[in-house]
Amino acid sequence: MWSRFRREHQWQIRELLFTVKLLSRNASAVAGCLIIAAMVFLAVFASVLSPYDPIRISLAERLRPPSAVHLFGTDELGRDILSRIMYGARISLRIGMLVVLIAGGLGALTGAISGYVGQRLDNLIMRVMDVILSFPPLVLALALAAALGPDLNNAILAVAFVMIPKFARLVRGEALAVKERQFISAARAAGAKSLWIILHHILPNCLASVIVLATLVLGEAILIAASLSFIGLGAQPPTPEWGAMVSVGRKFLMDQWWYATFPGLFILTTVIGFNILGDALRDILDPRIRR
């Protein structure tokens, strides 16, 4: 059964292995992967790695500076900041992945249908996308998150909504290009239904560029969600989300610099990881360079 899968998809598998090979040669791709891997590692093994329980309150140890005992210091309730940051990795990665799945899924499907069906429907859908894109991303996410209520899940939905047009536009462009090619006419002539064609032919052809976009959007989503949490609209206390931690840390900035510094540093590093990986992927998957 596995060998049958291998046979049917041998071309894609070869492309994949070639991509991986190119990636391993690209310094920034490797760097990006390492950063992301480190964050994933922290997230997955947070419960094992974290030196303390992230919600363990210890008022006697409040606002301690970084030391051998507490590497990143403690917060105003005596909780270990390093441990909270580790658990925060879980949250941030979860935010990123959910946003990409929701926005990517809905956006890609919408774009594919729009591009494939064309004409009035395409016009309408693209106008709607234009309207969404007419809002500065953070502004729209803020409005949505405020309307839905201050909650991390609402923030995720808000950010996902803002990201949908990016995927929709990308996939629509690819759909328009692919639609004219002969194997589509062949499939139609053979009686294939439109939806099947969309799923089996159009979407797989967009895979490369969608993956690049997804990587970049993942980073951007983490950033916007952290900004929302900072304002008070995303994660609510005591959730150890990085943006929320910086928000609280701000109150203690002058005397307890570590509180706001470390969580923000992790946001920066994680997003850098996704951005350089995304850029490297974009360069590698560019068909002109692949030969």
Partner 1 sequence: MRLLNYVLKRLLYSVPVLIGVTLLVFIISHAIPGDPARMMAGQKASREAVQNLRHSMGLDRPLPEQYLRYFVGLVQGDLGKSIRNQRPVLDDLRDFFPATFELTMVSMLFCIAVGLPLGVISALRRNRPIDHTTRVFSVVGVSMPVFWLGLMLLLLFYRDLGWLPGSGRLDVGLSPPPHVTGMYLVDTLVEGSEEKFVNCLLHILLPAFCLSYVYLAIITRIVRSAMISVMGLDYITTARANGIREAVVVLKHGLKNAMIPTVTITGLSIGELLGGAILTETIFDWPGMGKYVVDSVNFLDFPAIMGFTLVVSLIYVLLNLAVDVLYAFLDPQIRY
Q: Which of 93, 66, 102, 95 has the alpha carbon at shortest distance from 82?
A: 66
Backbone angles phi, psi at 190, to 5 degrees: -80, 0
Given 81, 140, 155, 218, the residue binding partner 1 (CB under 8 A): 140
Return d(Cα 107, Cα 217) in angstroms, integer: 12
Nearer to partner 1, 15 or 135 (CB): 135
* Separation between Cα atoms, residue 74 and residue 76, nearest integer Å: 7
Question: What is the pattern of x (binds partner 1, CB under 8 A) and - over residues 109-138?
Answer: ------------------xx-xxx-xxxxx
The two structure tokens encoding residue 239:
């959730």
- From 51-59, 86-94, 99-107, 267-275, give the range in contact with partner 1 by CB under 8 A: 267-275
- The candidate with the shortest Cα–Cα distance to 50, out of 80, 81, 83, is 83
Q: How far apart are CA 104 and CA 214, in angstroms?
A: 7
Q: Which of 40, 98, 148, 211 binds partner 1 (CB under 8 A)?
A: 148
Q: Rule CB under 8 A: is residue 16 a binding residue for partner 1?
A: no
Question: Would you tell me how many other CB atoms lie within 10 Å of the CB of residue 50?
Answer: 17
Which segment (4-12, 62-70, 168-176, 245-253) binds partner 1 by CB under 8 A? 245-253
Nearer to partner 1, 148 or 211 (CB): 148
Q: Output the smallest distance, CB 20 to partner 1, in A.
A: 22
Instruction: Verify binding: residue 252, partner 1, rule CB under 8 A.
Output: no
CB nearer to partner 1: give 143 or 184: 143
Which residues share a beta bridge with 80?
74
Contact of 238 with 179, CB cutoff 8 Å: no
The CA distance from 86 to 49, in Å, is 8
Rounded distance between C-alpha atoms, residue 41 and residue 229, angstroms: 23
Q: Residue 131 and residue 97: Cα distance in Å, rounded? A: 25
Q: Output the smallest distance, CB 58 to partner 1, in A.
A: 25
219 alpha-carbon distance from chain centroid = 5
Judged by CB under 8 A, the residue of 66, 118, 173, 232 near partner 1 is: 232
> Is residue 139 a contact residue for partner 1 (CB under 8 A)?
yes
Rounded to a whole number of angstroms, the minimum distance from the CB of residue 194 to partner 1 is 27
Among positions 197, 198, 231, 244, the unique one binding partner 1 when judged by CB under 8 A: 231
Q: How far apart are CA 256 and CA 252, in angstroms?
A: 5
**By CB under 8 A, which span of 10-18, 90-98, 179-187, 227-235 interacts with partner 1?**
227-235
Q: Which residues bind partner 1 (CB under 8 A)?
A: 127-128, 130-132, 134-140, 142-144, 146-149, 219, 223, 226-227, 230-233, 243, 246-247, 249-250, 253-254, 257, 260-261, 264-265, 267-268, 271-272, 274-276, 279
